[in-house]
Structure 1
Amino acid sequence: MRSASLHIATALALCGVWSLTACAQTVLGPVTGTVTFHTSSADLGVGYTWGHGVLTYGGRTYPFSVSGASAAAVGYSSGDSVGKVYNLQRIEDFPGTFWALSGEATVGRGVSGQLMENDNGVRIRLDYTRGGARIAASPSRLTIRMLNKPDQAAAKSGDSAKAGVAAQ
């Protein structure tokens, strides 16, 4: 009985976090870009998250790496995230440290959401699917670093050779 109560309380808390992020779109204004991530997290009290992603902004794609830390988490999970970016006015404002309060309860497969913001006021609303076994309820930070690779839009238009020459 006690275990069932814990599962119900965890499910209600996570539904509350997800519904807050679902309602955030109206408060955050128009979408200025989109992101996709693949991340992994390993935790034993203090945790570490790492991975990579792609930002789509202004008709171009920009690859990036992600790494970060969280507190009060135990377990391992990995998965994919999709998100919407708000308040991005220049590509230079995207990289940096994003802060969020997050919660996760994954056993096998789990779905959740997160709202995070960096020092430049750029906000990302993420929906993610995770696999593994992890429990987390903590403040977290995620650092995004842009990668110096030609984007898909340049490759499609035949500009990848020019981008490669310019990078040398």
Structure 2
Amino acid sequence: MRSASVRVVAALALCGSWSLTACAQSPLGPVTGEVSFHTRSADLGLGYTWGTGVLTYGGRTYPFSVKGASAAAVGYSSGDSVGKVYNLQRIEDFQGTFWALSGEATVGRGVSGVLMENDNGVRIRLDYTRSGARFAASPSRLTVRLLKPSKPATESAHPAPGAHS
């Protein structure tokens, strides 16, 4: 009898943890893409962040640039971010300013995460690894601009010998 009770409790605990995980992600909406990018931040009271990255959406990749600002930050750090994109319905909705409340305390190397949202309802949940020495606790914004993809390596700016224009 006791082993049956232990199994029921274990099953309920597993179901409960699964439903909590499912509920925790459902407010973000459906996962529609992934991002990865590299940024640098330099701060002396006010902060500035810049970098480049790649969005994977609808089976294609889209390069983008990021730049942003934060208040109440001191130091320098750089790092790599990876994350999931939620509620992206059209590629045009990815561009814009994402807002987040963020904090960072990096001395040497650190790992953290942040949730950002833009005016189009697109959300990004990031996990990032930073290195440097930076302390920040403030609202921050990050402006994303899609870049034109570079030309494929097979195209050439010079016509082949004997080709006529």
Sort the TM-score into its range (normalised by shorter chain): 0.7 to 0.9
Q: With the length of structure 1 as denominator, give the TM-score of the two structures.
A: 0.75
SS class of match (1:108): strand
SS in 1 for 2:72: strand
Equivalence for 1:40:
40
| Deviation digits for residues 1-55 of structure 1 (CA, Å, limit 9, x no counterpart) | xxxxxxxxxxxxxxxxxxxxxx853321321000001000000110000000000
Match of 1:61 in 2: 61
- 2:52 alignment partner AA: H
What is the aligned partner in structure 1 of residue 143 from structure 2? 143
Pairing of 1:146-161 with structure 2 (within 5 A): 146-150=146-150, 161=155
Paired residue secondary structure (1:148) = coil
The residue number in structure 2 matching 1:87 is: 87
Distance 1:27 1:52 in 2: 28
Partner of 1:9: none
Alpha-carbon offset, residue 130 of structure 1: 0.1
Q: Which amino acid aligns with 2:71?
A: A
Report the CA distance between 1:57 and its aligned residue.
0.1
Percent sequence identity over aligned pairs = 83
Runs of 4+ in 1 over 3 A off after TM superposition: none
When structure 1 is superposed on structure 2, of 23-32 and 88-97 the one drifting more is: 23-32
Distance, in Å, in 2 between the alignment partners of 1:69 and 1:76 is: 13
Instruction: Give the whole-Å Cα distance in 2 for the aligned partners of 1:51 and 1:25.
Output: 27
Q: CA distance change for structure 1 residues 81 and 24 in 2, over 3 Å: closer, same or farther?
A: farther
CA offsets 1:41-99 (integer angstroms, 9 cap, x no match): 00011000000000000000000000000000000000000010000000010000100
Q: How far did 1:106 drift?
A: 0.3
Structure with bigger helix share is: 1
CA distance in 2, matches of 1:80, 1:88: 22
The reply on whether 1:70 has 2:70 as its aligned counterpart is yes
What's the TM-score, normalizing by structure 2? Answer: 0.76
**Where does the alignment leave 5 or more consecutive residues of structure 2 unmatched?**
1-22, 156-165
1:105-138 deviation line (CA, Å, top 9, x unaligned): 0000011100001110100000000000001010
Instruction: Decide which moves more: 137-146 or 24-33.
Output: 24-33
For 2:82 and 2:54, the matched residues in 1 are separated by: 10
Q: Which amino acid aligns with 2:123?
A: R
Letter in 2 for 1:104: E
- Aligned residue pairs: how many? 133
Partner in structure 1 of residue 96 of structure 2: 96
Whole-angstrom CA distance in 1 between matches of 2:124 and 2:36: 11
Quote how far apart the aligned CAs of 1:149 are.
1.2
The residue that corresponds to 1:128 in the other structure is 128
**CA RMSD after TM alignment:** 1.7
Larger radius of gyration: 2
